[in-house]
Amino acid sequence: MKYMGSKRVMLQNGLGELLRATSKKKERLVDLFSGSASVSWFAAATLELPVIAVDLQSFAAILARSVLARTQELDPNRIEVNWLRPLAKRLARSKAWRKAQALDLSQPNAGSWAKRARQLCSDSAGSGPSWRAYGGYYFSPSQAFVLDSLRSSVPARGPERWVCTAALIMAASRCAAAPGHTAQPFGTSRSAGPYLREAWMRDPVVFIRRAVGDLSRRFARVKGSARVGDAVQTARCLRESDLVFVDPPYSGVHYSRFYHVLETLARGKCGPVGGSGRYPARDERPSSLFSQKSNALAAMELLLQRVSDVGCTAILTFPNHECSNGLSGRMVTEAAAEHFRIVARVVKTRFSTLGGNGESRKARLDSDELILLLNPK
């Protein structure tokens, strides 16, 4: 899925090797900013210890939990039969779905399509929160209806619940009509219209099936857990025998602004939305001190102090340049040096610029990334 600062590349470029080497004689790995769960999944699949994933956002916890909470594969055919196959009957009974399909088949230009789609989602007694909040913006009405219908019918319990919900989140990320993340949907101008059309023509069920197949094959060697929580507060509960992975935000804008669409699917509900990005109210969007320029350094120092006070070994990653939250690789290294003995490594990677604009800002840029091994003094 699309995620800012994903560590997938770094896992193949030194980070994975360091996690394996450092985890020996540790009792848990605690991922304090789990995000897209790439590090948590890797650790759960390769290390003989439980992984605890923590993140401020519900969708991140669900992604992690879909793998960490079980120690064997699932049968994707069972999910197909019990969850995906009944969708066709539910859709056939809905007038709103038939209207959405008729609009898709009419193939109007982007401006007309968006106008009619927004009117349909505003006027019709449609589905759920994706239809009401994002239909005609990030999703076509038919896409939104499918996402809501499947979200309302996820299994009530068991590991299939988390796999199905995670698959929805991953599919929504791939289908959203947005230039990278859900901070703002594509417009309907002559230049942006083709991108909106292309995104709206994607079938969410295709991406859901792919995600179910991928997730079903993944499992943890040792059962772990995932939770919604603040990293600095969670650090109070660490143990000396923990290996702690720290990959803090580097953006001066709260991540909840970029992932509110996914958070809505995770929670299964959404209040009134507004603005160009169709954002929920601020009190519905989690905020992090690490994304506040005036507080980021103090938050980093406090987190490192708490990890050090417990006596944990930690691995910290951060871009080796100045970031929009005011932190830089140099500042993070200096803060860590107050509490730890550091072994530093710089690796090449690529980071997201939240979609870019194709001209003055590319969607992804080459970057040097710091990997700091922090040993207790």
In a domain, 179, yes or no: yes
Q: Does residue 83 surpass a pLDDT of 70? A: yes
Q: What is the mean pLDDT of residues 285-302?
A: 96
Quick one: pLDDT band at residue 283, thresholds 50, 70, 90? confident
- Mean pLDDT, the chain, integer: 92
CATH number of the domain encompassing residue 39:
3.40.50.150
Q: Which tokens in the block code for residue 120?
A: 């349909």
Domain tally, the chain:
2
Model pLDDT, residue 123: 81
Position 104 scores a pLDDT of 87
End-to-end CA distance of the chain: 38
Which of 27, 25, 18, 69 is closest to 247 using CA atoms? 18
Residue range 220-232: mean pLDDT, rounded: 98
pLDDT digits (tens, 9 = 90+) for 21-60: 999 999 999 999 999 999 999 999 999 999 999 999 999 9
234 and 211 within one domain: no
**DSSP-assigned states of every residue in 261-313:** HHHHHHHT----EETTTTEEPGGGS---GGG-TTTHHHHHHHHHHHHHHHT-E
Say if residue 65 is in the same domain as residue 81. no
Mean pLDDT of 152-180: 95
- Find out whether 239 and 27 touch, Cβ atoms under 8 Å: yes
pTM over 0.85: yes
- In the block, which residue shows the tokens 């299964």? 268
Domain boundary among 195, 216, 237: 216
pLDDT more than 70, % of the chain = 93
Domain that holds residue 351: 8-71+221-249+288-376
